[in-house]
Chain A
Amino acid sequence: MTPADAELLPAGIAGLVGLSLAVAVLATAWTRQAHRIGLLGALAVTAWVLGLSALFLNAGPDSETAATRVALGGWDAPLGLMLQLDGLSMTLLVLTAVVGLATSLYSLGYVHDRIERRQFWPLWLWLWAGLNMLLLSGDAFNLYITLEVVSLSAVALVALTGTAAAVSGAMRYLLVNILGSLSFLMGVVLLFGEHGVLDLVLLEARTEAGPAERMAAVLMTAGLMLKAALFPLHVWLAPAHGSAPAPVSAVLSGLVVTGSFYLILRLWMGVFAPLATPTFGILVGLLGVGALVWGSLQALRAGRLKSIVAYSTVAQFGYLLVAFPLMLVDPDAWRVVVFFAVVHALAKASVFLAAGTLQHAAGHDRLADLGDVLRGRPRTVFALGLAGVSLMGLPFTGGFIAKYLLLEAGLGTVLAGSVFGVLWVLAIAGGGLLAAAYVLRMVAPSFQRGRADAGEASSPWMDWVPLGLATVAALAGLAGTLTLNTLALTPGAP
């Protein structure tokens, strides 16, 4: 690494926050041009994130011991607020940029109404900025504020279609989000009362396994589980994700849920690390198995295309929970978990985008009456299938590599003599089969004989973006080593 890189990195981090905020503010003020500002902003933010990742990887060796931290306003912790960047947040920033850019391009075609466009773009850009800030935040209270930025803009986006189903889904989503935030905030207050600091690194240094930490861990984890729709706190997810506009569903299932999960992981790897015990891991793992089974069964009986996809998010997040007990045995398993979350986010976003195109073409998304359009739109169905294959974890896709690594970690647990290891392995393998079943349910009508009808014409963006993103998801396996190596640059990782 060169000294110039090391100097540029902090400025690049603060600049990313500034840039994504500037785009959002500009689109809010000059709403007539919001879609143009949004497109240019999406390109600029993506380019910035990619540049930052190159810089970060160059500066790599230093980052193994400590995250790159930036003091905002020149005030160091504990007085001021710190931004921090490490391998984990860098990986998810890149994921956010890729999905965000794809969603922006797709929205150019999907949100074409002049009035709706003016409402959509500012909110979406605030959501994106909020996600970037969430991933870069290094302060417990600031995390609460960024969570609120993300959830308020996400709720507003869900309600955007204005139908009764969407508004009712948004209402439920909002109440759940506020409850989750308050629970999180109560945890932050307990930690602040105990240690008198809010900075995550300082908190980590002072934490031991005391009663206040335990209570804070319970409150913050429960709040985040509500927001991440982790089983059994998931009931709000399907109505909200299933009735939102397609690009919004893609972002919610791909990024927003992943953001809350990131925070759980970050807290348990840092501040709450002394509290993690094998019993706790097994408990979480059992929840994961429950999520896998329940979500898959719901996806198998849901009648609407987007409902299937929404329930499959509940199921797929079960994997992330199953991985917790594996992490306690195999310290490296967490990287596999994050890689799995990345692949899932890419695949899930493209499935939702493809479903949006089909829904647009057919005018509805009832699976039973969707056959004609499925036969008439081979390109979109191919995108759906390709992303679905990645979700199932068939060989040569990103999903395959992620699941293979998970299975490997699971077998390691079995070898380590854990009785539950067998259950984890069974769950990981069985979940793939269930995923195959509901993915096939979605694309099966296109293989049946019948009338083919392309339905309502749609813009080229809506045809090609899902395919492109699905390809990225399928090829993500190629970037597996790079991702895992980037993730290794996370301090405090076991």
Chain B
Amino acid sequence: MNGLLVLFDLVLLAGIVGVAWRCLASTDLFRAAVLFVTFGLLLALAWVRLEAPDIALAEAAIGAGITGALLLVTLERLRSIMAERRSGRPHTPPPDPTGPHALLRALHDPPPERRTFIPALTFALVVGALLVTTLWHQPPSMGLEPVVDAHMDASGVDHPVTAVLLNFRAYDTFLELAIVLIALLGAWSLGRHDLIPARPAPGPILPGTLRLLVPVAIVTGVYVLWAGSHAPGGAFQAGAILGAAGILLVLARPRQLPMAPGVPLRLGITAGVAVFLLVGLYGLAAGHGFLGYDRAWAYPLIILIEVAATLSIALTLVALFVAGRPAGDDA
């Protein structure tokens, strides 16, 4: 049985490295994007094998799902920009796929030049070999599992990962929410959003499926959020699931985005950090330390923070997919 597991590990790792290699070696960007999604799904399997179901959930939903959607819509945007530029100039000849203008083709990257091969390979090999040598010489360390285990009673939740994320190291999690928000602020500062280049799919199939899937996604999201206090799950996974549902809704009607009014949308995307910060400041004032909770109130406060965070993450992910700030935000 142990031998089978080792075989599984070896095959899985070979698959992961192989897919990553194919992804980085491909000249067609669409192929690279699809391979990257595959890479993410294989990683999720590896996380399950390493007894990290929370990470597996997050990797599948965020690493593979949301990143995949972002990659594909980016490629579609690049394609439509290039098509516009070409049609805008009828007299420009089509680019020669082998000439110096090959770089200008939107979804194609020519094979790398030969002269970077030796230095890049040497550099990567040296770094990789040094890392592997170092890692092989490391003694098994205790980690912080015993310490976390000893304090679980005081954390307000029953799932160690959630306890670390929202209680013991809540500051990191707060900043993580802030980073999601900053990424959106950055994307919005680049300009107003333009139409998503995807064409609406004709026919009743997609809207029909969405009518079925979106309620299921919402139920699943809420379930994953609630489950986070005692089992794998939590705000980030739930936010990603709800965000994915939102992205599907956007895709079903790419031409008729609801013109989100500025103020409620702003409040929605900041709700996570705002609620978190308020609770944190209250903790400071009440003498539990910044981002600390009274032991009796830890569970409800954590749930409150998680609900707000889920909402903000879902909204932010959809907004990052749409890219560019909505017109209502400038009013």
Tell me, yes or no, whether A and B come into direct contact in the complex with CB atoms closer than 8 A.
Answer: yes
Given contacts A25-B274, A73-B170, A79-B148, contact A14 B175 (CB under 8 A): no
Residue numbers of B with Cβ under 8 A of A are 130-131, 133-135, 137-139, 141-144, 147-148, 151, 167-172, 175-176, 178-179, 181-183, 185-186, 188-191, 262, 266-267, 269-270, 273-274, 277, 280-281, 283-284, 288-293, 329-330
Chain A residues with CB below 8 A from B280, complex form? 18
Chain A residues with CB below 8 A from B183, complex form? 152
Is A153 an interface position by the 8 A CB rule? yes
In the assembly, what is the distance between CA of A31 and CA of B331, in Å?
11
Interface pair A22/B281, CB less than 8 Å apart: yes
Interface pair B141/A194, CB less than 8 Å apart: yes
Interface pair B172/A145, CB less than 8 Å apart: yes
CB distance from A441 to the nearest CB of B (A): 34
Specify the main secondary structure of chain B where it touches its partner. helix
The 8 closest A-B pairs by CB, nearest first: A156-B186, A73-B292, A14-B290, A119-B189, A196-B141, A29-B270, A74-B289, A215-B134
CB distance from A159 to the nearest CB of B (A): 6
Chain B residues with CB below 8 A from A196, complex form? 141-144
In the assembly, what is the distance between CA of A173 and CA of B102, in Å?
25
Chain A residues with CB below 8 A from B135, complex form? 190, 193
Chain A residues with CB below 8 A from B144, complex form? 78-79, 196-197
CB distance from A62 to the nearest CB of B (A): 20
Interface pair A28/B141, CB less than 8 Å apart: no
Interface pair A81/B172, CB less than 8 Å apart: yes
Is A11 an interface position by the 8 A CB rule? yes
CB distance from A75 to the nearest CB of B (A): 5
Q: Could you name 13 residue pairs across A and B whose Cβ atoms are closer than 8 Å? A: A18-B290, A25-B274, A25-B277, A28-B185, A73-B170, A80-B169, A126-B185, A145-B176, A149-B182, A155-B186, A190-B138, A211-B137, A212-B137
Chain A residues with CB below 8 A from B137, complex form? 211-212
Task: Report the nearest A residue to B188, measured CB to CB.
Answer: A119
For B142, B178, B284, the residue with the greatest tally of chain A CB atoms inside 10 Å of its CB is: B178
CB-contact partner of A193 in B141, B169, B273, under 8 A: B141
Specify the main secondary structure of chain A where it touches its partner. helix
In the assembly, what is the distance between CA of A115 and CA of B290, in Å?
34
CB-contact partner of B178 in A70, A126, A212, A215, under 8 A: A126
Interface size of A by CB at 8 A reads: 57
Interface pair B141/A73, CB less than 8 Å apart: no
CB-contact partner of B292 in A15, A74, A115, under 8 A: A74
Task: Report the nearest B residue to A148, measured CB to CB.
Answer: B179
In the assembly, what is the distance between CA of A195 and CA of B139, in Å?
9
In the assembly, what is the distance between CA of A196 and CA of B143, in Å?
4
Task: Report the nearest A residue to B141, measured CB to CB.
Answer: A196
Task: Report the nearest B residue to A126, measured CB to CB.
Answer: B182
In the assembly, what is the distance between CA of A11 and CA of B292, in Å?
13
Interface pair A122/B185, CB less than 8 Å apart: yes
Interface pair A28/B181, CB less than 8 Å apart: yes
In the assembly, what is the distance between CA of A211 and CA of B132, in Å?
11
Is A324 an interface position by the 8 A CB rule? no
Residues facing B in A65-85 (CB within 8 A) are: 70-75, 78-81
Task: Report the nearest B residue to A28, measured CB to CB.
Answer: B270
Apart from the given pairs A79-B148, A119-B189, A159-B190, 18 other A-B contacts in the complex at a CB distance below 8 Å:
A11-B284, A15-B284, A21-B273, A28-B266, A28-B269, A71-B289, A75-B151, A75-B167, A81-B171, A141-B172, A142-B172, A152-B182, A156-B186, A193-B141, A195-B141, A196-B143, A212-B134, A212-B137
